[in-house]
Amino acid sequence: MTTATSKAIQITHHGDPEVLQLVQRDVGQPGAGEILLRHHAIGLNFIDVYQRSGLYALPLPLQLGMEGAGVVEAVGDGVTHLQVGDRVVYASNPPGSYCERRVMPAAQVCRLPDSISFETGAAMMLKGLTAQYLLKQCLPAQGLQPGDHVLFHAAAGGVGLIACQWARALGLQLIATAGSDEKCQLALANGASHAINYRSQDFAAEVQSITGGQGVKVVYDSVGKDTWEGSLACLRRFGLMVSFGNASGPVPPISLAALAPKGLYVTRPSVFVYAHGRDATQAMADDLFEVVASGKVQIHVAQRYALEEVRAAHEALEARQTTGSTILTL
Ligand code: NDP
């Protein structure tokens, strides 16, 4: 059996986008429980920036990328849910999607419905599974009810635009924040009930005004350092803080006493804690496929770069120049 080769992007040390290097490497053949996949499109995520910069330091050398869509070219022993020729999509951990071809665990891979294109699939999987657990699994007690107010930071981004639309479909009042007036308009057009430009307005004061001084039931905060304090101020009594990212830098160590006045809850989740194992991943993916296929959630692929242009893609994402999803093409 011949061994396929692949263009791939890897890093040998952490740093700015110039550490992203194009290499050619052997792909190998799938072992037990694995598939060989040829990508048609690759998703870019802010977590790729953390892994490149070293904020999330993984062993080196490292092939980045946690999302992709393509076609199965070979199947290893014991793989029963996929066949050669299947159109597939995935969010993968550990990373490795910045390439033409890869061998990867089949358990992380789902068949892509015929109605969803490769580009849409690659643009939605990690981000969409994230929106799914944020809105439908993070608040286990009595859950979110139609009409509830939630606050979602960076709402015009990849995860954000999916969350805006999905929240509208669930009947939630999603208050969006975003870094420009244009981004606020985009969040509103995608289902946010209100939008706050948090670079020009005091978002905590605005949230109190919108909610009549009650505050919101949940804050979804992926910005981190810059928004943590204001986010706590936005929560109502017994509210839930979901801290799921650090686009502005990590949240400094906190005092538990800061939670006491309102009896607040805090969670710091990862998508792969929820999408754990094949059954949970498929169930979350089916939920995502349904809202996308039905048109309740549209995936905005607002930026496209060739795989070889990945440095420019990282620069744009870090510079807050993007909206919606970014994909790498082949
Ligand atoms: P986005 O497309 O949302 O890009 C990040 C956005 O963060 C920017 O566009 C910008 O929007 C905002 N931002 C605020 N402050 C800064 C800053 N100082 N530097 C750069 N950006 C800033 O990315 P993704 O959709 O890929 O991911 C969104 C967030 O969700 C990320 O923080 C990511 O790490 C997190 N995430 C967490 C997961 C989990 O399970 N824990 C899974 C997936 C994503 P604006 O200009 O409007 O402020």
Residues 15, 298 contacting (CB under 8 angstroms): no
Q: How far is the CA of 246 from the centre of ligand 1 (A)?
A: 7
For residue 4, the model assigns a pLDDT of 79
Q: How far is the CA of 94 from the centre of ligand 1 (A)?
A: 20
Taking alpha carbons only, the member of 260, 172, 271, 181 closest to residue 222 is 271
- What span, in angstroms and rounded, lies between the C-alpha atoms of 62 and 249? 22
pLDDT, the chain, mean: 97
Whose CA is closest to atom 8 on ligand 1? 320
Using a 6 Å cutoff on CB, does residue 245 contact ligand 1?
A: yes
Using a 6 Å cutoff on CB, does residue 155 contact ligand 1?
A: no
Residues 231, 151 contacting (CB under 8 angstroms): yes
Using a 6 Å cutoff on CB, does residue 154 contact ligand 1?
A: yes
Q: Is the ipTM of this complex over 0.95?
A: yes
Question: Which of 126 and 142 is assigned the larger pLDDT?
Answer: 126
For residue range 103-116, list pLDDT tens digits in order: 999 999 999 999 99
For residue 300, the model assigns a pLDDT of 98
Report the topology of domain 5-126+272-329: Quinone Oxidoreductase; Chain A, domain 1 (3.90.180)
Question: What b/e string do you get for 102-123 counting C-beta neighbours within 10 Å, with b at 16 or more?
Answer: bbbbbbbbbbbeeebbbbbbbb
Distances in Å between the alpha carbon of 278 and those of 111, 138, 270, 274, 288?
Answer: 12, 20, 16, 11, 15
Whose CA is closest to atom 10 on ligand 1? 320
Domain 139-268 has CATH 3.40.50.720: yes
Whose CA is closest to atom 11 on ligand 1? 154
Q: How far is the CA of 25 from the centre of ligand 1 (A)?
A: 31
For residue 95, the model assigns a pLDDT of 97
For residue range 75-113, list pLDDT tens digits in order: 999 999 999 999 999 999 999 999 999 999 999 999 999
Mutate to test the pocket of ligand 1, among 16, 223, 284 (most ligand atoms within 8 A of CB): 223
DSSP state of 297: S
Whose CA is closest to atom 39 on ligand 1? 270
Residues of the chain with CATH 3.90.180.10: 5-126+272-329
Q: How far is the CA of 154 from the centre of ligand 1 (A)?
A: 6
Taking alpha carbons only, the member of 1, 292, 253 closest to residue 132 is 292
pTM here is: 0.98
How many other β-carbons are positioned within 10 Å of the β-carbon of residue 181? 12
Using a 6 Å cutoff on CB, does residue 124 contact ligand 1?
A: no
For residue 2, the model assigns a pLDDT of 59
- What span, in angstroms and rounded, lies between the C-alpha atoms of 57 and 203? 32
Q: Which atom of ligand 1 is nearest to the CA of 155?
A: 47
Whose CA is closest to atom 18 on ligand 1? 248
For residue 1, the model assigns a pLDDT of 55
Mutate to test the pocket of ligand 1, among 42, 47, 322 (most ligand atoms within 8 A of CB): 47
Residues 235, 99 contacting (CB under 8 angstroms): no
Residues 124, 288 contacting (CB under 8 angstroms): yes
For residue range 161-216, list pLDDT tens digits in order: 999 999 999 999 999 999 999 999 999 999 999 999 999 999 999 999 999 999 99
